Structure 1
Amino acid sequence: MSKIWPFLLVNFWAKDNKRHSVDFCTFPSENLVKQGSKTARCMMLKKLSLTLLSVTMLAACGQQNTAEILSEDSQSAVIGGEKVEVGSRIMRSTVGLYDEGSGTLCTGTLISKELVLTAAHCVTPGSTHQLVFFTDDIKNMNAYNSRYAIKSLRHEDYERNRGRKYDTADIALVRIRGEYIPVGYAPAPIFADFQSLKKGSEVVVAGYGLSWAWGVKKGSGTLRTTKLKVGNARHGQNEILIDQSVKKGVCSGDSGGPAYIEKNGDLYLMGVTSRGDSLATPLTPKCFQFSIYSRVDAYLPWIKKTSALLLKDR
């Protein structure tokens, strides 16, 4: 089973409820990359180095507080989730993001043929080394199913809000090179009926991060999915809290990934993975309490404005 390099998880203290939260970014190992194609190795190994615990990687996780370093034996997808089948509805619009400069792995959602919606902490301003891949597993990445990002933009309020308990504006758009996406992929429609969501509403989440967070960790770079319940539909003005006490949910590597609402057989994009718990106990490992999502509908004006900026030179 592939290993994950030590990855930095950055905590901040939520004073009101004494919960720790963490951005869900992770770092793929060289062993994992070696299992992929020659093209993928050339692209991804170019920037991987032994200076893993550098300040650059800390910045890539999007926080400047205390860093928690997990062991080299830690491996990173959705905890307790099922592997997504090739050609499934979830795989159709869910993609991976790998930054060759920082070495971070995140998840995103295709919202147009050229735009991917993800978390702000997954994006390094000015980076020209971010790669978007369209595959069920990072090991299968090649020149056909991957695209370099041309440009990316974070929400302008993210830097100011990222240490807050609520409404961090942890959202970003990435424009990918070319107007053609691999066969079988299509943009996800946006879920606009937020008022219908309440505690207990079911959501479908997906990501390339940890498949197990206790003991042996599996599933490195594999797209997985599971169903969860809304814990608090109004976690601030623009966020939703998802209950992960059922010992499954999103974890490291799932940052920026989607939360879908299933309606009449179709999946609608409702949220973008922002952060989750990092306070482990002997009986409750991290990622087994909650996760927080940015509501896509709340950021629609920003998405429309930023999309126009990213595509204006097309």
Structure 2
Amino acid sequence: MIRYPQTILTISILTLLATTPAYPIVGSRSAPSESIVRAVVTVAAAGGGVCTGTMIAPNIILTAAHCLAPGTANRVIDYSAKPPRLIAPQQVAVHPRYNAQFIAAHRATADVALLRLSAPLPGKSAALLGVPRVPFSPASRFTVVGIGSIVAGSDSGVGTIRAAPLAVTGQPGTLQVRLMDPQTQNKSAGMGACTGDSGAPAFEDQDGNSVVVGVVSWSTGANNSAGCGGLTGVTPLTLYNDWIVKTARSWGAVIP
């Protein structure tokens, strides 16, 4: 069963605001590098849901389109303030080919969106944007970095930035890439996206740099069951990179 790892739990935004995120090694997901930590942000939605976002310019955040439902009052949490504060984006853009009905039917779509802040987010810096190298091979590796839960169906650990190194499986294409824990291979619970990791960046090492090549769209439990720790579905940026760059430029931002 596919889970869309935007939180559907009632996670208190006040709880997230009260706790400054740490970056320890927790469970099977490890701490990412400090440069990646500075690029990852928490995107909060009305009703208590959260997603993960990535700074790709000083005031531009990349996330999943399904995190930004029409009419939802999205906010970004600024943990540098004491106490942390909620920042309303100045502009939001969802890819024009995104289809919410496709998401509901578990079909691949342009699950990509951008948020523009009025000013750079203190303490944060942009990650490099890249395009996945295609065709993929069984040797392809990606690292997913998110603020999601460490336990399926729970808000345990939400808000802490963790990394999961994952391997490509199945027959990936330019619309969707399925990742799995190379140790458990979707046969038993392992590393992977979970509640709160929607929109999380998928990094690939290219020429000595970690670059963002996709965003997390869904996850499953082991053997495609309900939950987390099985497959992690990533929407690659292969077809959407130009739209991201052009939209950011129309907002006056330069993508590094």
Secondary structure of residue in 1 paired with 2:126: coil
Q: Deviations over 1:259-288 (max 9, x none)?
A: 10123542100110001226889xx66212
Deviates more, 1:257-266 or 1:300-309: 300-309
Secondary structure of residue in 1 paired with 2:89: strand
1:156 aligns with 2:96: yes
Structure 2 vs 1, CA of residues 182 and 308 (structure 1 numbering), >3 Å: closer, same or farther?
A: same
Query: What runs of 5+ residues in structure 2 fail to find an aligned partner?
Result: none
1:307 to partner: Cα distance: 2.5
1:239 aligns with 2:180: no
Contact kept in structure 1, 2:18 and 2:83, CA below 8 Å: no
Structure 2 vs 1, CA of residues 233 and 162 (structure 1 numbering), >3 Å: closer, same or farther?
A: same
1:310 to partner: Cα distance: 4.4
Runs of 4+ in 1 over 3 A off after TM superposition: 33-37, 163-166, 278-281, 308-312
Structure 2 vs 1, CA of residues 114 and 309 (structure 1 numbering), >3 Å: closer, same or farther?
A: same
Contact kept in structure 1, 2:180 and 2:191, CA below 8 Å: no
1:174 to partner: Cα distance: 0.8
1:167 aligns with 2:104: no
Q: Deviations over 1:197-220 (max 9, x none)?
A: 322311111111111339x87313
Quick one: which of 126, 135, 142 aligns to 2:84?
142
Give the alignment's Cα RMSD to 1 decimal.
3.3
| 1:260-299 equivalence runs, <5 A | 260-277=203-220, 286-299=227-240
Structure 2 vs 1, CA of residues 166 and 141 (structure 1 numbering), >3 Å: closer, same or farther?
A: farther
**What amino acid is aligned across from residue 243 of structure 2 in structure 1?**
W
Structure 2 vs 1, CA of residues 191 and 78 (structure 1 numbering), >3 Å: closer, same or farther?
A: farther
Secondary structure of residue in 1 paired with 2:204: strand
Matched with 2:6 is 25
Matched with 1:230 is 168
In 2, Cα distance between the equivalents of 1:193 and 1:207? 19
Q: Sequence identity, in percent?
A: 25
| 1:200-239 equivalence runs, <5 A | 200-213=139-152, 218-232=156-170, 234-235=172-173, 237-239=174-176
TM-score, L = length of structure 1: 0.66
**What amino acid is aligned across from residue 18 of structure 2 in structure 1?**
Q
Matched with 2:68 is 123
| 1:79-118 equivalence runs, <5 A | 80-84=28-32, 88-99=34-45, 101-118=46-63
The size of the alignment, in residue pairs, is 240
1:188 aligns with 2:144: no
Contact kept in structure 1, 2:40 and 2:53, CA below 8 Å: yes
Structure 2 vs 1, CA of residues 96 and 209 (structure 1 numbering), >3 Å: closer, same or farther?
A: same
1:35 to partner: Cα distance: 3.5
Secondary structure of residue in 1 paired with 2:245: helix
Quick one: which of 256, 272, 297 aligns to 2:199?
256
Secondary structure of residue in 1 paired with 2:3: strand
Deviates more, 1:194-203 or 1:290-299: 194-203
1:35 aligns with 2:18: yes
1:304 to partner: Cα distance: 2.8
In 1, Cα distance between the equivalents of 2:155 and 2:48? 20
1:300 aligns with 2:244: no
TM-score, L = length of structure 2: 0.79
**What amino acid is aligned across from residue 300 of structure 1 in structure 2?**
N
Contact kept in structure 1, 2:31 and 2:163, CA below 8 Å: yes
Q: Deviations over 1:8-51 (max 9, x none)?
A: xxxxxxxxxxxx212111142367347348xxxxxxxxxxxxxx
